[in-house]
Amino acid sequence: MLYQSEGIVLDQGDFGENDKIARIFTRREGLVRAVVKGAQRPRSKLRGLTQPLTYGLFQLYRGRSLDRVTQVSVRNGFPGIIDDYEKMIYARYLVELLASVLPEKERASAMFDLFLAVLGCLEQKEDPWVIARWAELGILKLAGFAPSFSRCVSCGSKVQEPPVHFSLKDGGALCAACMPLGAAFPGSQGASSAASPAIFSPAPAGAAMSAPSPESQVRAYGELIQVSPGTLRTLEMLSTHVASPRVACPNITARGQVRTEINEVSRKYISFLLDKRLKSAPLVESIEDEKK
């Protein structure tokens, strides 16, 4: 059976001797894997029409396990990304992030709209950094992980005064009052244990009272990232910016410490959620760290 859908080619690889297999994010069916017959041959017409990042109208034949591309009408090949080394590195990274949260064959129209808008903005804007951070937050939000930046994840109060932390485990900002024991004095175990008795509530009769062990403190430090209020405000702006193919790209920028902290939060939070490092992440990070 044939079906038609708008789609974006995410990536492709060789399949057998003559064919290629492409992962296409379609508006109608979600993520599909489809064979492109004969696409390893240099003169194949479909070969040029199924390059990564091609956006168009795809006609597919539904197979039992794999679908097959029969026709493509290209709407945009995003040459401004393809021909730009740095933007292409960002695009590969965002494709990998998207593919790692997207189930196969499940319609995800809002995610499709977002990703199409992301590619448009990545092509159009000069600074891919802001587009990447905005895209990450949007992808995570639609995948069901929406971090909270304006209110404390523990008590719900507005987070304004430093020290403020981002908790990977709780997925959001943590105000000073909600900081776990032993985490309030980073790098100083002595200060931490000296302060402990004051914040310890009286132990019930018969219970042994013990100071937080160094091990649990290490865990607490690793889980918490200290950030400035400006970082949280910028992350909040990025996470609430909604764009569609017709709405403007985020016009936000960050420099210096805020940029560094946003990088740290996004890198660690994504690795934490996915429980792995994305293969394409180190290259993006090396570009960003070089520019600091």
Would you tell me which residues interact with Zn ion (CB under 5 A)?
152, 154-155, 175, 178
| 176 vs 248 by CB, closer to Zn ion | 176
Nearer to Zn ion, 179 or 270 (CB): 179
Cβ 173 to Zn ion, closest distance in Å? 8
For residue 286, give the nearest of 130, 80, 99, 89 by alpha carbon. Answer: 89
Tell me the closest approach of the beta carbon of residue 232 to Zn ion, in angstroms. 13
Least distance between Zn ion and beta carbon 148 (Å): 11
What's the angle, vertex CA 204, arms to CA 200 and CA 207, rounded to 5? 90
Closest approach of Zn ion to the CB of residue 261, in Å: 19
Smallest gap from residue 177 Cβ to Zn ion (A): 5
Any residues with CB less than 8 A from the CB of 109 and at least 6 apart, and which?
27
CB of 186 to Zn ion, least distance (A): 18
Spatial separation of the C-alpha atoms in residues 179 and 278, rounded to whole Å:
30
**Residue number with CB closer to Zn ion (98 or 152):** 152
Cβ neighbors of 228 (< 8 A, separation 6 or more) are 162, 164, 257, 258, 261
Instruction: Give the nearer residue to Zn ion in terms of CB position, either 158 or 276.
Output: 158
HSE at residue 164, side-chain half, CA atoms within 13 A, is 24
| Beta strands per DSSP E along 228-277 | none
* Choice between 116 and 232, CB closer to Zn ion: 232
Among left, alpha and beta (phi > 0; psi -120 to 50; other), residue 289 is alpha
The least CB distance from residue 155 to Zn ion, in Å, is 3
Helices and strands, number each (H, E), in the chain: 10, 8
Quick one: 108 or 152, whose CB is closer to Zn ion? 152
Using the structure block, give the residue that is written with the tokens 């789609």. Answer: 7
Q: Which residues contact 76 (CB under 8 A, 6 or more apart)?
A: 54, 55, 56, 119
Cβ-based nearer residue to Zn ion, 125 or 233:
233
Tokens of 156: 């719900």
